[in-house]
Amino acid sequence: MKKLINDPADVVSEALRGMAAAHPDRLRVDLENRIVYRKDAPRPGKVGLISGGGSGHEPMHGGFVGAGMLDAACAGEVFTSPVPDQMMAATKAVDAGAGVLHIVKNYTGDVMNFEMAAELAAADAGTEVLSVVTNDDVAVQDSLYTAGRRGVGVTVLLEKIVGAAAEEGRPLQEVADLAKRVNDNGRSMGMALTSCTVPAAGKPTFDLAENEMEVGIGIHGEPGRQRLPLAPAREIAELLVDPVVSDLPYTQGDSVIAFVNGMGGTPLIELYVMYNEVAQLLDRAGITVARSLVGNYITSLEMAGCSVTLLKVDDELVRLWDAPVNTPGLRWGA
């Protein structure tokens, strides 16, 4: 195992210290509870937005804390859900009287612990909490970590769009309804060229031969739909785009945000090769790309590979996507 770490047991804590040192203008970090906060949270009259999950997916979620996105993010151990006490502390801390929305990826531990945190916050402080669970991965119906579809790339787009709506001062129920609409209109699928190595494990999560790829992989190394011989980018793009387009389904005349996400170990030049192929496939299907996003935003440590997310949008969603955002992981118009 070759990693830029000190002790595997200290990776998460030391990374959070690094985040606090790197972004003191935008963030404050509760190192004891492993919570990243927007520096000016809570903001009176604004719905608080919280997400979180296992570490190892950076910049998700801590990198999306800031103006125009999240108010707080809870960090678990690598690929391990945060505990309810973390989420309860974050919920109470960002409640400015307008309530709090939990944005939860559909992994069993995340869903259960966020539900417990919402109940605890309501009982302890009277905080009104609503939740939305993202479940956009079309690859498999159930996985090692989930009942139902996994929450993946749509989570990034949802946090940005809903963050803009909360910034406008919209009420909690309206923000929650918008989050559900975004989730319902987004689909994703990913693939891997290599495994990743969890620091505490010290060895790859799974084995892939040099001439193999896993299609439909999860962000924790969960098995996908099928293991296939390595193929050119244009064929890989078809394997990802076709199931996504057919699932909603997306149809001729739709407008989408097209998101090609790197899993952590794939260079940007290759992600742009993939985006070119994706864009051509969408063009041939008569689907208009209203906005695009390319890069490493929801990763799996150093796994090589990518995912494709499509979100069907209207004028309102595009406007909210374009609204200013200022976080370590996503920034424009600010």
Closest CA to 236 of 269, 278, 200, 206: 278
Burial of 270 from C-beta contacts in 10 A (0-12 / 13-18 / 19+): middle
Distance between CA atoms of 102 and 124, rounded to whole angstroms? 17
Distance between CA atoms of 303 and 160, rounded to whole angstroms? 24
Active site residue 220: yes
Active site residue 102: no
Distance between CA atoms of 263 and 303, rounded to whole angstroms? 6
Residue type, 69: M
Distance between CA atoms of 333 and 278, rounded to whole angstroms? 26
Closest CA to 57 of 1, 12, 109, 112: 12
Instruction: From the candidates 23, 57, 61, 102, give the one annotated as an active-site residue.
Output: 57
Beta bridge partners of 289: 256
For the record, the structure tokens of 228 come out as: 């296939």
49 contacts 325 by C-beta, under 8 angstroms: no
107 contacts 85 by C-beta, under 8 angstroms: no
Instruction: From the candidates 23, 61, 102, 220, give the one annotated as an active-site residue.
Output: 220
Burial of 298 from C-beta contacts in 10 A (0-12 / 13-18 / 19+): buried
Distance between CA atoms of 69 and 125, rounded to whole angstroms? 24
Beta strand 226-229 with 100-105 is: unpaired
- Residue 254's CB: how many other CB atoms inside 10 A? 19
Measure Cα distances from 315 to 119, 321, 322 in Å: 36, 10, 11
DSSP state of 189: E
Active site residue ranges: 57, 220
